[in-house]
Chains A and B, each alone.
Chain A
Amino acid sequence: MQTALQFGPILVHLDRLLLGLVKTIQLAALSILFGTAIGLLGAVGRSFGPRWLAWPIATYVELIRNTPLLIQLYFVFFSLPLFGFKLSSNTAAIVALSIHLGAYATEILRAGIQSIPAGQIEAAKSLGLGRYRIIRHVVLVPAARAVYPSLSAQFILQIMGTSIVGAIAAEELTAIANNLVMQTFRSFEVFIIIALIYFVLVQAASLSFAGIGKLMFRWKV
């Protein structure tokens, strides 16, 4: 018995898949934005903040990095309503994804901060630079440049991580593809098509991250 691949019944629904792609890009872009912001605050807080701030940040990082993203999604969507925070599926997905990335970004940026030699900071101090300008120009920018490749690798993982948020009924490419599978029963064709879409999306993202990196960190060491 043979089941030939038929893409026709799927391609008529291409508009729905493209809508899913838009939602996936939204989820990824917003969570990368918020996650990086959390990571920046976390890394600066842990490296330069008061001592009492260090352990809550460390606890957050360990808690998130040692639990699966799926459980974090379930927690935000199913458990938070019991404490009075009811978020819609896509909002819950953005919150969970941002918190998830935030923990990794904190550690990556902290590693960058630690890679700055003490002499560089002492030199800045002896030149009379203030604390804010030292943290921003002498530490953070070179630190971000040092860890930018790992950070963009984490962003790529984040884009692919959005594919599981259908578990809390959020709408994105994989969830819409699953709906389509159930409607057309052409699972191979649908998954081949969304694999291609993801491939193009992630390739485009990688190239953009590389381009942004070149623009942001133009000078040589």
Chain B
Amino acid sequence: MRNFLKQASAGAMLAGLVLALSALLPSMASAQTVDQIISRGKLLVAIDTTTPPYGFLDANLKPTGFDIEVAYKMGEALGVPVEFVTVTSPGRIPALLTKQVDAVISIFSITPARAIQIDYSIPYAGQSAVVIAPKSTAIKGVADLVGKKVGLTRGTGEDGLLTAAAAANPGIEILRFDDYSSLLQAMVSGQIDAMGGGDYGEIYLKKARSGDAFEQKYILKTFYFGIGVAKGNENLRQWVNTWLFTMKTDGILEQLSMKYRNQPLPPLPVF
């Protein structure tokens, strides 16, 4: 009898585990329409607070930055408060797949591979991925990276570009960091010779070290950032596109760019 009870409880635990696991699977939750978000009374947005100047923590440890302000403006336009869910760049797609958030606003470059799993709005910002290195290092192009340690953030656009460059030019050692602040740390402490990052990166390196020891070496590619929504959530995506259109025509995106990036936005194509 006792054995039977033991077995039964073990079986029940296993069944519970399977249930809990299946609850984690994406198909169980459903995407929120604009109406549902408004009636719920809050907008859930995934952000990354380690990607200055788009998302970072201010002196009071509150999230701020270009993406954060875009998120607040989205909440304002919907008439609901915004609730942030902090993710790292590898966590952005899972956050949408598991329906933890309604939207991802976190330097989310538009790529066809990602668009297989999630849907993108039209771009609301864009920037170039560049190679940054100390001024004393002579780097003109990819050939000069051979024999050097090049740092980047795992899973970013730079990762794809520089990984391909390293495959074509043997001798480039790639070091992948989990977040942007670790990457900057590695650059400042000299653990890497060069880094792939956004065109704003040198601003932060200049802050980290006295003088301006770092500079932009060359442009890898220009990326366009979209707002990510769950795959097939056309209702929300159509609203986001309409709202972004007005954000552009009202000049608000341009203002935000000057405020956080110190430079105007590149022309933003639509699809």
Instruction: Point out residues on A near B: beta carbons under 8 Å.
Output: 1-3, 5, 74, 77-79, 81-82, 86, 89, 166-169, 175, 178-179, 181-182, 185, 187-188
Kindly state whether residue B116 has any CB partner on chain A within 8 Å.
yes
B175 with A89: CB separation less than 8 A: yes
B90 with A178: CB separation less than 8 A: yes
Write out the residue numbers on chain A whose beta carbons fall within 8 Å of the beta carbon of B231: 1, 3
- In the assembled complex, how far is the CB of residue B23 from the closest CB belonging to chain A, in whole angstroms? 13
B31 with A182: CB separation less than 8 A: no
B90 with A187: CB separation less than 8 A: yes
B186 with A169: CB separation less than 8 A: yes
B177 with A167: CB separation less than 8 A: yes
Residue of B89, B93, B114, B178 touching A166 (CB-CB under 8 A) = B178
B175 with A1: CB separation less than 8 A: no
A-B contact pairs, 19 of them (CB 8 A): A1-B31, A2-B27, A3-B26, A3-B27, A74-B182, A89-B175, A89-B191, A166-B154, A166-B178, A169-B177, A175-B176, A178-B176, A178-B178, A179-B176, A182-B89, A182-B159, A187-B94, A187-B97, A188-B26
Q: Mark B110-124 against chain A: 1 for CB-CB distance below 8 A, else 0.
A: 000110110000000
- In the assembled complex, how far is the CB of residue A94 from the closest CB belonging to chain B, in whole angstroms? 16
Write out the residue numbers on chain A whose beta carbons fall within 8 Å of the beta carbon of B25: 3, 5, 188
Write out the residue numbers on chain B whose beta carbons fall within 8 Å of the beta carbon of A89: 175, 191
B113 with A185: CB separation less than 8 A: yes
Write out the residue numbers on chain B whose beta carbons fall within 8 Å of the beta carbon of A166: 154, 176, 178
Residue of A77, A79, A182 touching B90 (CB-CB under 8 A) = A182
Kindly state whether residue B249 has any CB partner on chain A within 8 Å.
no
A78 with B178: CB separation less than 8 A: no
Which of chain B's residues 86-145 have a Cβ closer than 8 Å to chain A? 89-90, 93-94, 97, 113-114, 116-117
Instruction: Point out residues on B near A: beta carbons under 8 Å.
Output: 24-27, 31, 89-90, 93-94, 97, 113-114, 116-117, 151, 154-155, 159, 175-178, 182, 185-186, 189-191, 230-232
Known contacts A3-B27, A175-B176, A178-B90; A81 and B190 CB within 8 A of each other = yes
Residue of A nearest to B179 (CB): A167
The 3 A-B pairs with the shortest beta carbon distances in the complex, nearest first, are: A182-B155, A169-B175, A81-B189
- In the assembled complex, how far is the CB of residue B43 from the closest CB belonging to chain A, in whole angstroms? 20
A81 with B191: CB separation less than 8 A: yes
A3 with B232: CB separation less than 8 A: no
Write out the residue numbers on chain B whose beta carbons fall within 8 Å of the beta carbon of A178: 90, 154-155, 176, 178
CA distance A1 to B175 in the complex (A): 37
Residue of B nearest to A87 (CB): B191
Given contacts A3-B97, A169-B177, A188-B25, 15 further A-B contacts (CB under 8 A): A1-B27, A3-B25, A3-B26, A3-B231, A81-B191, A86-B191, A168-B182, A169-B186, A178-B154, A178-B155, A179-B155, A179-B176, A181-B155, A185-B114, A185-B116
Write out the residue numbers on chain B whose beta carbons fall within 8 Å of the beta carbon of A188: 24-26, 94, 97
Write out the residue numbers on chain B whose beta carbons fall within 8 Å of the beta carbon of A5: 25
A78 with B189: CB separation less than 8 A: yes
B154 with A182: CB separation less than 8 A: yes
- In the assembled complex, how far is the CB of residue B226 from the closest CB belonging to chain A, in whole angstroms? 15
Known contacts A169-B177, A178-B90; A86 and B190 CB within 8 A of each other = yes
Write out the residue numbers on chain A whose beta carbons fall within 8 Å of the beta carbon of B89: 182
CA distance A188 to B25 in the complex (A): 8
Write out the residue numbers on chain B whose beta carbons fall within 8 Å of the beta carbon of A167: 177-178, 182
- In the assembled complex, how far is the CB of residue B205 from the closest CB belonging to chain A, in whole angstroms? 14
Known contacts A169-B176, A178-B178, A185-B116; A78 and B191 CB within 8 A of each other = yes
A78 with B185: CB separation less than 8 A: yes
CA distance A19 to B82 in the complex (A): 43
- In the assembled complex, how far is the CB of residue A155 from the closest CB belonging to chain B, in whole angstroms? 26
CA distance A182 to B114 in the complex (A): 9
- In the assembled complex, how far is the CB of residue A10 from the closest CB belonging to chain B, in whole angstroms? 14
- In the assembled complex, how far is the CB of residue B87 from the closest CB belonging to chain A, in whole angstroms? 12
Residue of B nearest to A3 (CB): B26
